[in-house]
Amino acid sequence: MTDELKPAELLSLRDRVQAVLDRIRPYVQQDGGDIELASVSEEDGIVYLKMRGACQGCPSSTLTLQMGIENELKIECPEVKQVVQV
């Protein structure tokens, strides 16, 4: 059995969100922070993230979350309506 990637439309929303976060993570880590996927509400289209490291409590983390991460998630996963920091 081969270990083939599934087409994007067959992946769960959580898997697609995680893939986007994995792609964004190195940029956040360059500034000493990190992002962790807490949960995804597929019914509501809400993604819950934990900001770690330097991002935790940083005033700019809200801007990073909304203007960077949320925008990218909405582009890649149109069913995402909102990203919430927990």
Per-residue pLDDT of the chain (86 residues; tens, 9 = 90+): 445 555 555 789 999 999 999 999 998 888 888 899 999 999 999 999 998 887 777 777 676 777 788 999 999 999 999 999 88
- The C-alpha atoms of residue 31 and residue 38 are separated, in whole angstroms, by 21
Q: Which CATH class is domain 11-85?
A: alpha beta
Burial of 64 (0-12, 13-18, 19+ CB in 10 A): buried
Q: For the chain, list the strands marked E by DSSP.
A: 33-41, 46-53, 82-85
Indicate the pTM of the whole model.
Answer: 0.80
Direct distance between the N- and C-terminal alpha carbons of the chain, in angstroms, rounded to an integer: 39
Q: How many CA atoms are closer than 13 Å to the CA of 26, on its beta-carbon side?
A: 2
pLDDT at position 1 is 44
